[in-house]
């Protein structure tokens, strides 16, 4: 096999005409892939799985060297005169794509057997252009999946999930069900995307979603090459955004009545209650060994909170008891092909609020409060109610017995929702809902969620004493008002990416913007004026920085715009003479005239009710290192 490897800023190709009868089906639409490694591949006679294994190892090396996990596998017959038969070549390329996806690499598939117009913009660094010749070797075999299996437990629930037979419906505001095959989606396109994603059960990403480039270019988050895939590094700006979200969700749970606790991140694999619960939860676990004993890393706060609740002396007067923990971190060994950016991680921060309730009636009283809490939290984070769709899951018997209750939840949502219904219950819950964000690749990701758990109180030995002095077993509600914090950042960046694709101005919510106001002095002699103005804003809990670099005013304004700074103010003679009157470049609004007091009120209004943190980086831009991973 012969490969020309090119590290590119951009690759554009357009299938023009089928070259061979066995060419794959494809459209003639032009495709553009940015920030990627282009592999021009000629498959030769005799290439086998040992060559496939070598290619995947080379791709791993390229990922580590180039800090890029997006690959374009491009069939290219022009590097060799000893080509494999078309069917053999196609199979080899498919195996390369499948194996690389299992290692967490994002693969863009280029149709086989076509003439294509190709253009590219290759980066200029020394490793940007490399050629490789790979020959079959008997000591190479394709064993990509085995590495993952050695360090995970696959629960019975997860195995069952692949084989569960679900019935899919759309539920209306009255609680009536329509099979998805009969529902008219013409007014509900986003809901149709959720239906397509859920029923197809294809989770792996075939290309890089927009938020990945945005999180890097904004200097927020990046992959950590020295860690397991799905474990990220957060730079100062990203850490500030994450911390603000963590604090806000925690604040809202406190207001709801949550009692905050902290629990361990690892648990005994052989503990009877925990081992039983593991097999009822559809997730893969990390294993840790200590003193010859095996532990697993938690995938939620359930374990610690349930063990704690078991030791409490509870009566009916204490219920509902709302235990809360912000888990930094929870761990799930998600399939490597699904690990792209912040959408799905192996280590994530989950706000987890469990309510211990007396019985189903109290569960039904508490459930709508948590639903509305979740709606409110997402709205204040920066999501409109049209940014997500509701999926609700239950057993057939639960639907028959509680149709009015289910309909009341749908009415809170205000529009039809997707239903997954099971004939029999396998999981520990009888009802579960999620708000699903639909990204730019039409994949759904759950944000907020809640469940009615009818098993775990008994499993863990949690009891309470009722009015007559008898011990009773409660039910447990599992709620995350926001979903994983990292996934909220993913959603906000995907929203921004969609705006950019539509030619609109992308931004973050003002309260999450690392810098609220950027002051740009016309020259160094106005730095003192910038200091006075910035200190005045800082008293009002506004993040202000100063671009004191020796660059043109135009470049500094453009750089601030690239960082999505909401308000940019150029400081010169006029502002020095009267610092109360300012000409402000407001992101998405253009140039406006404002007084300092008016601008303070505007920023305070947009940040009202949310937590505040100071600048995550030095105030003077010249003092800041670049937190964007170099290629």
DSSP string, 206-264: SS--HHHHHHHHTTSEEE-TTS-TT-EEE-HHHHHHHHHHHHHHHHHHHHHT-EE----
Question: Final residue of a domain: which of 494, 528, 558?
Answer: 494
**CB-based contact 610:243 (threshold 8 Å):** no
Judge whether 505 lies within some domain.
no
242 and 349 part of one domain: yes
Say which range, 123-137, 415-429, 460-474, has the weakest mean pLDDT: 123-137
Q: What share of the chain has pLDDT > 70, as a percent? A: 93
pLDDT digits (tens, 9 = 90+) for 68-101: 889 999 999 889 888 999 989 999 999 999 888 8
Judge whether 425 lies within some domain.
yes
The pLDDT of 559-582, averaged and rounded, is 93
Residue 43 has pLDDT above 70, yes or no: yes
CATH number, domain of 199, equals 3.30.930.10
358 and 309 part of one domain: yes
pLDDT at 148: 42
pLDDT at 291: 85
**CB-based contact 318:351 (threshold 8 Å):** no
pLDDT digits (tens, 9 = 90+) for 19-37: 888 888 888 889 999 999 9
- Report pTM: 0.76
Say which range, 232-246, 330-344, 345-359, 474-488, has the weakest mean pLDDT: 330-344
Q: Tell me the longest C-alpha to C-alpha distance in the chain.
A: 88
82 and 229 part of one domain: no
203 confidence band (pLDDT: 50, 70, 90):
low
Q: Bridge partners of 346?
A: none
Say which range, 269-273, 292-296, 364-368, 468-472, has the weakest mean pLDDT: 269-273
282 and 389 part of one domain: yes
Measure the CA–CA gap between 448 and 437, rounded to whole angstroms.
10
Residue 146 has pLDDT above 50, yes or no: no
Residue 149 has pLDDT above 50, yes or no: no
Residue 104 has pLDDT above 60, yes or no: yes
Say which range, 150-154, 221-225, 507-511, has the weakest mean pLDDT: 150-154
**CB-based contact 178:184 (threshold 8 Å):** no
Whole-number average pLDDT of the chain: 90
Residue identified by tokens 């095996």 is 294
The pLDDT of 381-388, averaged and rounded, is 94
Judge whether 502 lies within some domain.
no
88 and 215 part of one domain: no
Question: Final residue of a domain: which of 109, 141, 173?
Answer: 141
**CB-based contact 567:508 (threshold 8 Å):** no
143 confidence band (pLDDT: 50, 70, 90):
very low
223 and 110 part of one domain: no
The pLDDT of 492-500, averaged and rounded, is 95
Of the candidates 1, 180, 174, the one whose C-alpha atom is nearest the C-alpha of residue 77 is: 1
pLDDT digits (tens, 9 = 90+) for 305-357: 999 999 999 999 999 999 999 998 999 888 777 788 999 999 999 999 999 99
pLDDT digits (tens, 9 = 90+) for 248-289: 999 999 999 999 999 999 998 888 777 666 665 556 778 888
CATH number, domain of 521, equals 3.40.50.800
pLDDT at 121: 92
136 and 161 part of one domain: no
Which residue range(s) make up the domain with 129?
2-141
439 and 362 part of one domain: yes
Judge whether 499 lies within some domain.
no
Listing DSSP states for 330-372 in one string gives: EE----GGG--TTSS-SEEEEEEEEEEESSHHHHHHHHHHHHH
156 confidence band (pLDDT: 50, 70, 90):
low
pLDDT at 153: 54
pLDDT at 140: 47
CATH number, domain of 112, equals 3.50.80.10
E-assigned strand segments in 358-460? 388-395, 417-422, 429-438, 444-453
SS3 581: strand
Residue 472 has pLDDT above 60, yes or no: yes
pLDDT at 125: 84
- Our count of domains for the chain comes to 3
150 confidence band (pLDDT: 50, 70, 90):
very low
Q: Bridge partners of 521?
A: 571
pLDDT at 376: 97
CB atoms < 10 A from the CB of 378, how many? Answer: 23
Question: Final residue of a domain: which of 443, 459, 494?
Answer: 494
Of the two residues 540 and 269, the one the predictor is more confident about is 540
379 and 432 part of one domain: yes
11 and 100 part of one domain: yes
pLDDT at 278: 64
Judge whether 555 lies within some domain.
yes
Judge whether 286 lies within some domain.
yes
141 confidence band (pLDDT: 50, 70, 90):
very low
pLDDT at 206: 63
Across 180-205, b (16+ Cβ under 10 Å) vs e yields beebeeeebebbbbbbebbeeeeebb
pLDDT at 270: 80
250 and 349 part of one domain: yes
Say which range, 39-43, 421-425, 453-457, 571-575, has the weakest mean pLDDT: 421-425
Measure the CA–CA gap between 533 and 538, rounded to whole angstroms.
9
Judge whether 506 lies within some domain.
no
91 and 215 part of one domain: no
Judge whether 146 lies within some domain.
no
């Amino acid at each position: 096999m012969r490969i020309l490897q090119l590290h590119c800023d951009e690759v554009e190709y357009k299938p023009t005409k089928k070259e061979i009868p066995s060419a794959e089906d494809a459209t003639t639409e032009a495709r553009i892939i940015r920030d990627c490694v282009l592999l021009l591949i000629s498959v030769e006679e005799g290439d086998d799985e040992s060559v496939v294994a070598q290619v995947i190892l080379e791709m791993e090396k390229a990922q580590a060297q180039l800090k890029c996990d997006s690959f374009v596998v491009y069939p290219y017959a022009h590097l060799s005169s000893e080509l494999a038969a078309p069917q053999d070549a196609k199979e080899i390329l498919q195996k390369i794509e499948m194996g690389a996806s299992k290692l967490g690499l994002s693969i863009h598939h280029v149709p086989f057997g076509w003439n294509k117009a190709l253009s590219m913009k290759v980066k200029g660094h020394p490793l940007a252009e490399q050629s490789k010749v790979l020959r079959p070797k008997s000591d190479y075999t394709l064993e990509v999946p085995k590495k993952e299996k050695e360090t995970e437990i696959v629960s019975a629930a997860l195995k069952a999930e692949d084989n569960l037979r679900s019935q899919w419906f759309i539920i209306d505001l009255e609680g009536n069900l329509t099979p998805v095959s009969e529902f008219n989606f013409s007014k509900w396109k986003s809901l149709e995307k959720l239906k397509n994603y859920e029923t197809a059960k294809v989770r792996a990403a075939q290309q890089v979603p927009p938020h990945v480039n945005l999180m890097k270019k904004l200097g927020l988050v990046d992959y950590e090459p020295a860690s397991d895939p799905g474990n990220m590094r957060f730079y100062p700006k990203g850490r500030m955004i994450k911390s603000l979200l963590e604090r806000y969700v925690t604040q809202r749970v406190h207001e709801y009545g949550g009692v905050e606790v902290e629990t361990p991140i690892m648990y005994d694999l052989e503990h009877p209650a925990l081992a039983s619960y593991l097999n009822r939860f559809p997730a893969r676990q990390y294993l840790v060994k200590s003193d010859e004993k095996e532990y697993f890393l938690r995938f939620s706060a359930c374990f610690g909170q349930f063990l704690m609740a078991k030791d409490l002396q509870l009566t009916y007067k204490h219920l509902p008891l709302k235990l809360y923990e912000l888990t930094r971190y929870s761990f799930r060994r998600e399939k490597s092909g699904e690990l792209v950016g912040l959408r799905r991680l192996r280590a994530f921060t989950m706000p987890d609020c469990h309510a211990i309730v007396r019985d189903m009636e109290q569960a039904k009283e508490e459930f709508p409060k948590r639903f509305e809490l979740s709606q409110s939290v997402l709205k204040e984070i920066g999501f409109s109610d049209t940014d997500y769709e509701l999926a609700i899951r239950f057993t057939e018997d639960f639907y028959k017995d509680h149709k009015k209750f289910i309909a009341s939840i749908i009415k809170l949502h205000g529009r039809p929702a997707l239903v997954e219904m099971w004939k029999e219950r396998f999981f520990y819950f009888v009802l579960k809902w999620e708000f699903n964000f639909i990204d730019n690749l039409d994949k759904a990701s759950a944000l907020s969620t809640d469940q009615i758990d009818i098993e775990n109180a008994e499993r863990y030995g949690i009891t309470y004493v009722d009015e007559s002095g008898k011990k009773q077993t409660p039910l447990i509600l599992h709620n995350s008002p926001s979903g994983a914090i990292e996934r909220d950042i993913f959603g906000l960046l995907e929203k921004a990416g969609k705006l950019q694709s539509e030619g609109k101005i992308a931004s973050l919510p003002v309260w999450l913007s690392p810098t609220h106001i950027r002051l740009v002095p016309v020259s160094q002699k106005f730095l003192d004026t910038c200091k006075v103005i910035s200190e005045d804003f800082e008293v009002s809990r506004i993040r202000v920085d100063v671009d004191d670099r020796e660059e043109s005013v135009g470049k500094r304004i453009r750089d601030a715009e690239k960082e999505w700074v909401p308000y940019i103010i150029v400081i010169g003679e006029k502002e020095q003479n009267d610092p109360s009157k300012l000409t402000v470049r407001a992101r998405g609004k253009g140039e406006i005239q404002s007084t300092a007091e008016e601008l303070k009120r505007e920023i305070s209004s947009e940040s009202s009710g949310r937590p505040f943190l100071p600048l995550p980086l030095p105030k003077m831009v010249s003092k800041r290192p670049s937190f964007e991973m170099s290629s």
